[in-house]
Structure 1
C-alpha cells in the first residue's frame, strides 16, 4: 500500500490508493456486500446459487417432502430420515402378515404378542340373584 492519500469516507482510516474513497477493509466489505442478495427462501443477504437462485442452505431440500436440509451429507430432512429408519427396522409379522416390530420372545408383532383381555368372573346379582356378569354396582346388565 502506498502513502496516505486521504481518509476513508466510511470509517476514517487511511486510504492508500488515488482512485478510491474507502480504505481496504471498507472496500472489501462493500465488494462482498455487492455480491450478495436477499435469498427468496430465508430472506438473509447471501451469495445466491446460479442453478436455484437461492442461497446454499436453502438450495438443499429433502427429496421426499421438499423441506430444507441443513447438512450437505443428508438428502432427507430430519423427519423423513427418522421415518425411513423406522420403516427399515420393521419386518413382516409371520402371524398377521403386516409390517411391525417383532418381539424376541414370541417372534410376532406387538399386536399379535399381546394376550387377550380376560372376561370378568361371574357373580351373583344382588337384585335378581342369578349368576351373571356384572354391569356395575353389583347388578347384572338386565337389572342395571
Structure 2
C-alpha cells in the first residue's frame, strides 16, 4: 500500500479487531509486526488490555515488542489537542487520551494510523494524519 506511509500504528480499536480476527487475518498482522511494518505502543496496548481483558488474552500467545511512548509523542499529542478541531475530545472514551496519543505518535512519523470505521473520520479531522481502517489494512495484502 504505497500511498500510505509505513509503518502502521495500531490504535486501541485496531488491536481489538486484530484480537478478533480469523487465523489468516491474524497471521497477516503477526507477520507485519515481525517485519516492523506495524508498531504497537505500550500505552495503547495497556489501555486495550484494561478495557478488553478477554481480547487481550487472545493475543497472549503472540510474541511482539511494544514501543515506548516518548516525550516527543506526548508533546505532539498536546499540541494537536490544543490546535485541532477533531471530533474526539481531550479525553478518550476510556479517559486516557489514547486517541490523542496515537495521533501524536502518527504525526511524529509520518506513520499511518489503523483504526475502526467509526474512528477513521475522527482522526481524519486532524490535519496531516494518514488513516485507514483495519479492513483496508487487511485488503492491502
Q: Common fold, TM-score beyond 0.5? A: no
Structure with the largest fraction of strand:
1
Q: Which has the larger radius of gyration?
A: 1
**TM-score normalized with structure 2 length:** 0.16
**TM-score normalized with structure 1 length:** 0.16
Structure with the largest fraction of helix:
2
